[in-house]
Amino acid sequence: MIRLKTEEQIKRIRESCHLTAQLMQDLSTFIEPGMSTLDIDAFCYQFIVKHKGVPAFLHYEGFPATACISVNEEVIHGIPSRKTIIKEGDLVDVDLGINLNGHYSDMARTFIIGKTKDEYRQLCEVTEQCLKLGIDAAAQKGARIQDIGSAVYKYAHKYGYGVVRDYCGHGVGLDVHEEPEIPNYVSSYLPNPRIREGMVLAIEPMINLGTHKIKVLSNDWTVVTLDGLPSAHFEDTVACTKDGLEILTVL
């Protein structure tokens, strides 16, 4: 069941999202070569508790960290580790949410560390544009959920990139994951509800440099590309309000 939020609930979700956007902005100057992904996770945890929030992902379905931190060929759900050291040229995806008094945000950014290959930079730029196009599609009058996936897939496909099909965006706001699911492709076999006032959605293209195929590592969490090529991931939380679609994960 899709949970439609009231104006007051969206106000509270917005506060959580603004806090998450501030954390992402701070991360953009914090992450550097030589630190571990566990260092990044500790920074996120300390920021959230300092601002009286609760890490939404920590212990969610058993996940052991504040943030999913996925490097290069890791698509999503990377587990922070002291052994994983950030290097010049890496693509570092940080995906996290904040529970602020029962109201949830969800946001992801792929950070380029220093100088990287032109093809890796283009992958990130295209994936970020996929997110923007998906949001634009959701904002159109009469839009349906699969309009988002159509916009994402068409743009990524122009570059020959693989669009991850096994994971998707979702509703959010009063819990970490809610209905509806938001695939980044189109299928006649999937639900396609109309986007309505009160919906709060996490839109999140996951785009691979090579194949769309993925596998899950033996830790039962970390998703990697099947061909070992890098992946990029960008995500925003948006709300459908009486005044139109609003991106909540902004400052």
The tens digit of pLDDT for each residue in 178-187 reads 999 999 999 9
> What whole-number distance in Å separates Cα of residue 181 and Cα of residue 192?
9
Residues 6+ apart with CB under 8 A from 49: 55
Cβ burial of 141 (10 Å; 0-12, 13-18, 19+) is exposed
- Report the pLDDT value the prediction gives residue 80, as an integer from 0 to 100: 98
Q: Is residue 134 part of a domain?
A: yes
In contact, 212 and 165? CB cutoff 8 Å? yes
Query: Which amino acid is located at 181 in the chain?
Result: E
> What whole-number distance in Å separates Cα of residue 135 and Cα of residue 162?
20
Q: Is residue 27 part of a domain?
A: yes
- Report the pLDDT value the prediction gives residue 210, as an integer from 0 to 100: 98
Residues 6+ apart with CB under 8 A from 162: 156, 207, 208, 209, 210, 211, 212, 213, 225
- Report the pLDDT value the prediction gives residue 53, as an integer from 0 to 100: 98
- β partners of residue 17: none
Q: Is residue 1 part of a domain?
A: no
Q: Encoding tokens for residue 233?
A: 């991931």
Residues of the chain under the 70 pLDDT cut? none
Domain count for the chain: 1
Q: What is the pLDDT of residues 84-138, one digit of tens each?
A: 999 999 999 999 999 999 999 999 999 999 999 999 999 999 999 999 999 999 9
**Residue 145, domain extent:** 7-247
pTM of the model: 0.98
Q: Is residue 2 part of a domain?
A: no
Q: Is residue 237 part of a domain?
A: yes
**Cα separations in angstroms, 92 against 80, 125, 142, 221:** 11, 14, 36, 17
**CATH number of the domain that 184 lies in?**
3.90.230.10
Q: Is residue 102 part of a domain?
A: yes
Phi, psi of 185, rounded to the nearest 5 degrees: -150, 180
Q: Is residue 226 part of a domain?
A: yes
* Helix residue ranges, H only, 51-163: 118-138, 145-158
- Report the pLDDT value the prediction gives residue 116, as an integer from 0 to 100: 98
> What whole-number distance in Å separates Cα of residue 210 and Cα of residue 226?
9
> What whole-number distance in Å separates Cα of residue 147 and Cα of residue 200?
16
Sheet strands side by side (includes 236-241): 178-182, 169-171, 200-203, 236-241, 244-247
In contact, 169 and 203? CB cutoff 8 Å? yes
